[in-house]
């Protein structure tokens, strides 16, 4: 993932002798003439570059994973939103259907109420007419002292007796006619 490098440092010092008193450091002291000092980081810089390269690769991988996850979240949210919109549309259709049915039911109930009221008015008219006729008959009977009822009954009796006599006479005629023959 990263490049390989090896770093080193080389320093050549041409110095004069110095007197070093009281040095309290963990560093190196070089004394004398024509000394060559070689220093190395033992691959620390190369390791740092390798580490940084690896960490940056992991960071980019994490970023890619985060972007992929975010994309999946957006896709999932889109699916949920579409589903919710579809269900809301279905619910709106059902609500409209329910409202139409309720209006139709109310219309039928109103129509039935009108028909019932009409039948009550008709029945009331018939009852009023019958009551008027009964009052007329009662007034007629009271005015004639009940004689109109007697006359009506007598008339029916006369018709009945006349019919019986006609049948008896017809029977005699048939009997006489059958004896002669």
For residue range 61-108, list pLDDT tens digits in order: 887 888 888 888 888 888 888 888 888 888 888 888 888 888 898 888
Same domain, 40 and 123: yes
Q: How many domains does the chain have?
A: 2
Same domain, 48 and 131: yes
If one counts every other C-beta atom within 10 angstroms of the C-beta of residue 53, the result is 13
Running DSSP on this structure, what letter comes out for residue 10?
E
Closest alpha carbon to 30 in 18, 43, 45: 18
Rounded to whole angstroms, the Cα distance separating 54 from 60 reads 10
Rounded to whole angstroms, the Cα distance separating 98 from 58 reads 59
> Given this model, what pLDDT does residue 171 score?
82
Among 7-11, 22-26, 151-155, top mean pLDDT goes to: 151-155
Same domain, 17 and 75: yes
Residue 43, helix vs strand vs coil? coil
Same domain, 46 and 117: yes
Average pLDDT score over the chain: 78
Containing domain of residue 35, as a range?
8-143
Same domain, 25 and 113: yes
pLDDT tens digits for 115-139?
A: 888 888 888 788 888 888 888 777 7
Same domain, 131 and 155: no
Helix residue spans in the chain (DSSP H) = 44-143, 147-180
Rounded to whole angstroms, the Cα distance separating 169 from 181 reads 19
Same domain, 43 and 75: yes
Q: How far is CA 149 from the centre of its chain?
A: 75
Cβ pair 94, 102 in contact under 8 A: no
Same domain, 61 and 112: yes
Give this prediction's pTM: 0.34
Q: Quick one: angle between helices 44-143 and 147-180, nearest 10?
A: 80
């Amino acid at each position: 993932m990263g490049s390989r490098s090896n770093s080193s440092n080389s320093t050549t010092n041409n110095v004069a002798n110095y007197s070093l008193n009281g040095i309290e450091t963990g560093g190196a002291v070089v004394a004398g003439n024509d000394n060559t000092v070689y220093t190395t980081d033992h691959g620390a810089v190369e390791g740092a570059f390798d580490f940084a390269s690896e960490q940056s690769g992991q960071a980019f991988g994490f970023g890619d994973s985060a972007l992929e996850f975010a994309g999946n979240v957006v896709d999932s949210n889109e699916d949920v939103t579409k589903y919710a919109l579809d269900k809301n549309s279905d619910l709106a259709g059902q609500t409209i259907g329910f409202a139409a049915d309720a209006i139709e039911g109310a219309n039928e109930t109103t129509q039935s109420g009108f028909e019932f009221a009409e039948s009550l008015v008709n029945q009331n008219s018939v009852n009023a007419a019958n009551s008027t006729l009964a009052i007329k008959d009662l007034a007629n009977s009271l005015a004639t002292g009940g004689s109109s009822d007697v006359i009506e009954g007598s008339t029916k009796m006369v018709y009945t007796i006349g019919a019986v006599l006609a049948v008896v006479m017809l029977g005699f005629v048939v009997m006489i006619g059958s004896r002669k023959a």
